[in-house]
Chain A
Amino acid sequence: MVRMARLIDVTRCTACRGCQVTCKDWNQLPGEIGEFTGSYQSHMDNSPLRWTMIKFFEEEKSNGDVQWVFRKHSCNHCGDPGCLKACPNNALAKSELGAVYRIEENCIGCGYCVPFCPFDIPKIDEVNEKMKKCTFCIDRIANDLRPACEKTCMPGAIMYGSWDEMSALADKRLEAAQKRFPNAQIYGKNELGGLGNIYVLPDGPQNYELPVNPTLAPTLGMWKDIVQPFGNLAIAATLIGTGLAFLFTRRKAFVNVESSKLAEGGYHDEQKNDRAL
């Protein structure tokens, strides 16, 4: 199977938030009334019940006008996902389609994945003790349907296809965007093994709450690659070691009893039998 990707053309988004609504619709997530955010942005951040949202950014153009930029915020389905490696219970998996998804019964909402995501995507549902995030609509794309958000996007700001197709399309879109935004750039082609979301941004990623050079914490993987296997080994070795020592001491104790009994002239019942004879 080919790795799939979404192209998120921020220069085309009109903030209709159709994707935000249709994501809730397909995934059966009830609506949440949030606090006032100070702008037209609907909520401050994603939540266990909100897997995608449009973030609003106000910028000043060179001529003094204000322009609005809208970025769809959702899981990027990294080529090298930190969350997956951080999960102690193998509750995260990566499909051949490139979707990083959660295995319901394995996830216990421990939250170990949260600090290892450079995009602050995993949200912990404290009530059900599960991590929740965008699934890349794996239930749809695995059945040759398009992701819900892409299907609903009117201005073509979200596109869906194979990673290579989207990568090529991003180059084309960039050319068009650069006419309006001289600083326009592509984000997500090289970051973390290539993201499942390739962005066309009007300006540098730092302006849109995206890390310029997303990196994974150095302690990532030490848990799974070192502490877990060697820890298991150490505990098993201790158990086996004490077990063997126990067998050894029992054998020795048995031999001691035997020899002392022999020295005394045999076992008690044997002595009795001798007398009886």
Chain B
Amino acid sequence: MKFFGSGHGACPGCGLPIAVKTVLNVLEGKVFAVNSTGCLEIISSQYGKNAWNVPYIHSLFENAAAVAAGVEAALRAMKRKDEGYVVVFAGDGATADIGIGTLSGAFDRNHDILYICLDNEAYQNTGHQQSGLTPPGESTTTTPAGRVLPGKVGRKKDMISIAVAHGIPYVASSSVGYISDIRRKVKKAVKFEGAKYIQIHSPCVTGWGIDGSLSIKVARLAVETGLYPLVEYEYGKLTSVKKIKDRKPVEEYLKLQRRFRHLFTHERGREMIEVLQKFADENAEKYGLDLRKEE
């Protein structure tokens, strides 16, 4: 049975439908889907062309966590919890920027929900504006590379740590480049009672400026360079990390994408590449990403 698909209008190569299908299949469609405004909602919920074959609600941009809390509370109050899992699908802007208040509230109250942040690193639905999860050096329409500025200056907000700091039972990052990793983590997450957060790196072909056929390759490179570490926390403790055999330099990831193209010509490009490399190195250090000979 298909839980998501027929009629969705995502660009070919988009990571969103891949992630959503994987989550819904793992949970065998026993899902109450709560979606924030964004690309996913626009490509899947047009009136009369609904692509969801699970109960679905979209309310606003910034309130998916609170809406999910309400669905969960209602199911609990009405003794219908066995009907399914309450799962949020929200973009990075909805999660890390405009919706972080309701997200923090839902985490704080530890509602029994699985919150999936589909991280394509900018507001892609409105044409690629920067969000808190846009990495440094990326040229977006609101942080364009110009004569002076080399794209976004500033960090990618560390939502994983923010989620962990709430003391919720399960926090993980994953990637559309690693479907079996998503599958395993979702399966594990729903075993915990309380709030769960999984942030899934999801390529956007138009925003990132990549060929649709390169989505998986690019997503994998983000992991292989250490820019997007795949980690897992249970009750605040780091319990698993996807090790990397020969960590690649970040340039290999950057050079395939139009959003970073200016870094190879811009006056401050080198500097930004170094910032990103440092970011990857810090991740490697923090999580012990590098697979050493003896391991």
Q: Do A and B bind each other?
A: no
Interface residues in chain A, defined as those with a beta carbon under 8 Å from any beta carbon in chain B: none
